Each structure stands twice: as C-alpha cells, then as structure tokens.
Amino acid sequence: MDAHNFFLILFLILVTARILGELFARLGIPSVLGELSAGILLGVSGLGIIEVNDVLKVLAEIGVLLLLFEIGLDTDIRRLQAAGRKSMIVALFGAVFPFTVSALVAYYLFDLTLVVSLFIGGTLTATSIGITMRVLRDLQKEHSNIAQIVIGAAVIDDILGVILLVFIYDYAITQKLSMTNTLNTTVFILLFLIIAPALAHYASSFMKKFDEHKKVPGFIPTIIISLIAIFAYVSHLFGAPEILGSFAAGIALSRRFILPFGMGLKHDEVFLEKVKSAISPIAHMFTPIFFVMVGLSMNLRVIDFTSTKFWSLALTFLLIAVIGKYIGVFLLKNTTALKKALIGISMIPRGEVGLIFAEVGRLNGILDNEIYAVLIFVIIVTTVAPPFLLKWLFKYEKE
C-alpha cells in the first residue's frame, strides 16, 4: 500500500468514526455502534472504499490493547479476585454449552460435516471483551461488580477460544484427533499467564523509577506502546503462531498482560493519574480504529436474505449463541436476576474474535459461502444488539 493511500484511509476511518460516534451518542445510541457503522459503511458491505489489510489490523489491535490498558488502570484487583469463582462459572459454561450444542445441531440436525460443525461451535464460543468494556465504560459502569465478573470471564473465555481453535484447525488439516499441538499450545499459554503478572509488576516499577530521572519528555506513552508491542510479539511466540499468527494469539495473551500491568501501578495514585493523562489521548485516537475494523470485516453482501435454509440455520445458531452465554450466569449464587441478565448480555458479543474463527474457516476452504454467511449474520446480531440492551437494563440496576 502506498503511503498516500494509507493516509487517506486513516483520514476516512478517524473522521467517519468520530462523526458517526458523535451522532449516535447524541441520539442516545451507544457510540461504539456508530464506530462499527463507520466500518460497515466504508467497507465491502457499504461503499467498498476500504479493504482490511495488515497495517489496519495492527492499528486496530493497538487500539483495543490501549482500551484494555485503561480498563486495567481502573480495575479493582480485590474485586476481580473476589469475582474469580463467578467468572470461572460464566466462562466455562458459556464456552462449553454453545460449542457442544451448536456442533451437535450442525452435525445431526443440518447434516453438516464434522469439521464444519466444529468450526461453527468454535465461532459461537467466542466473546469480544472490547465491545462490552467500551459500552460499560461509556455508561460509567467499568468499576461495577458486573464489569469485574465480565473481565475475569473474558480472560478465561479468550484463552479457551484460542486453544479450541488450535485443536479444531489441527483436526481440519490432518483429519486426525492429535492432541500434541493443542497440549503444547495450552502449556505455552499457561506458562505465559504465570510469567506475565510478575513481568508486569517489574515493568511498572521500572517505569515509575525511570520516569523520576528522565531528561526527555514523552517517556510514559513511549514505554507503554513499546511494552504492548513486545508482549504482542512474545504472545505470538507462545500462542501457536504457525496456525493463527500474532493477531489471534494477541487476543488471548498480549491484551491480558495489560490488565496486571495497569494494576501494578496502583500502589502510587499520583503516578497512576500521570499515566492515565499521558495515555488517554492516544487511546482515544486508536480505539475507534478497532471498532471500525470490526465493521470493515463484516461482509453483509455474502448474506442471502431470501434463502429459507439461511434463515433456519441463522436463527437456530443465533438462539444457541445467546442462550449459551446465559447458562453459566443462571448458576451464580447471591446474584439478582437483573445482574445475571446484565452479565449474560455482556458476554454475548462475538465481534472480532468470532470473525477470526469464521475467517480462518473460510480461507482454508472449510466453510462454504452459505455457512460463512450464516456465521457473519450471527456475529453481526450478537455484536450490535447487546450495547442497546445493556444501556436499557443498566437504567434499572443499582450497584
């Protein structure tokens, strides 16, 4: 891509996202949906002006990492630990049910092949924390107990998703149920997650001490972006790069490093505020790129809305996708019905994580156009509807 074309694309993304985000906010609609709409408008579903490319993917990943970094700065570690058991229940049941049920339904009810059925199950297992956390932040609910449960569940959910995708992809290519790659990936991921909090603590301590003696301004944003870059690379090494690449691995690993890194700064409130003020302007620029990218990746043109088979598949899997994220929530104790509903809805968005599953299946000839269109439809509905529901239900919630 020529530099001048890239600058034009970046201009269109930032300006369109800002205009539609502001417009949606003024209409009482979550601004994140305005940014998603900007992507749909500019992408293949709309005007077809912008195509997804590797440069935009990198900028988008930086955007969601910065969003989660800011969330990490505001996360109460004690609340997060207290929500650990609830998060585990929500994540496990929210992954096992949609994967198992959708795969069985695809295989036995719709007579799809085992590989295709597994890919459908994997796609419906995913959760996009970026969408939910942006909505919670816009509603000023990022500090709530609900947010802590969702953050913890999303950490577990994304890790399970990447492990599952490695397993499914390995089976699709080799046609054998070999556990070697899956076990290797699992061990690497667990090892990374054990090491990351310690590295995060030392990195935040070093950052504070060095900032006190710096001679050149701009140290804080520079070191934060640098840390994001190196941990995205390290996560690539730990997360089955030969199959998914750093983008998918980064979802489960590098952005999870940001949370303990942000929380490692909490012992010094003055420095914490300094970090927030330094990184917020950058985050506000990059974060919309991520949501525009999700919109760009949604291809509405592949959907045949006149097909009876399409609607039977789409509505069935949409129902499973929604119910699947509620199963674990209903098992939570000492939680009101309203909070259960809010947690369940928060886990519904598939967003970019579901798109990765579907795209891997399409590019490798596993999913045909019809099944791919069904999954795109389910991803779009599960991504667009929850922000509306969250905003409406939070009116009745009292922390």
Q: How many CB atoms lie within 10 A of CB 147?
A: 26
Structure tokens at 168: 């499914």
At residue 277, the pLDDT reads 81
- Residues 264 and 199 sit within 8 Å (Cβ to Cβ): no
Q: Rounded CA gap, 46 and 338, in Å?
A: 37
The values of phi and psi at residue 167, to 5°, are -60, -50
- Residues 145 and 79 sit within 8 Å (Cβ to Cβ): yes
Give Cα separations from 67 to 130, 177, 262, 305 (angstroms). Answer: 8, 38, 11, 35
Structure tokens at 51: 């195509």
Q: How many CB atoms lie within 10 A of CB 186?
A: 18
Structure tokens at 382: 């599960």
At residue 236, the pLDDT reads 60
The per-residue pLDDT string of the chain (399 residues; one tens digit each, 9 = 90 and over) reads 677 888 899 999 999 999 999 998 898 887 888 898 999 999 888 898 888 888 888 888 788 777 767 766 655 555 556 667 788 888 888 888 999 999 999 999 999 988 899 889 988 887 777 778 788 878 888 777 788 788 778 777 767 776 777 777 777 766 666 667 667 767 776 776 667 666 666 777 777 777 777 777 778 788 777 776 776 666 566 554 333 333 344 444 444 555 555 555 555 567 767 777 887 888 888 888 988 988 888 888 888 888 898 999 999 999 999 998 888 888 888 788 888 888 889 888 887 777 777 877 877 788 888 898 899 899 889 888 888 888 888 887 765
- Residues 374 and 313 sit within 8 Å (Cβ to Cβ): yes
- Residues 325 and 149 sit within 8 Å (Cβ to Cβ): no
DSSP 304-320: -TT-HHHHHHHHHHHHH
At residue 22, the pLDDT reads 92
At residue 328, the pLDDT reads 81
Q: What is the CATH number of domain 53-287+306-366?
A: 1.20.1530.20
At residue 260, the pLDDT reads 56
Q: Rounded CA gap, 291 and 50, in Å?
A: 14
Instruction: For residue 151, give the amino acid letter.
Output: I
Name residues whose C-beta falls within 8 Å of residue 44's C-beta, 6 or more positions apart in sequence: 51, 296, 299, 301
Residue whose C-alpha is closest to residue 247's, from 53, 111, 388, 393: 53
- Residues 284 and 294 sit within 8 Å (Cβ to Cβ): no
What ranges do the domains of the chain cover?
53-287+306-366
Hey, what's the torsion of the CAs at 307, 308, 311, 314, to 10 degrees? -80
Query: Cα(first)–Cα(last) distance of the chain, in Å?
Result: 49
Structure tokens at 124: 């419906």
At residue 248, the pLDDT reads 42
Q: Rounded CA gap, 61 and 233, in Å?
A: 12
Structure tokens at 365: 């000839």
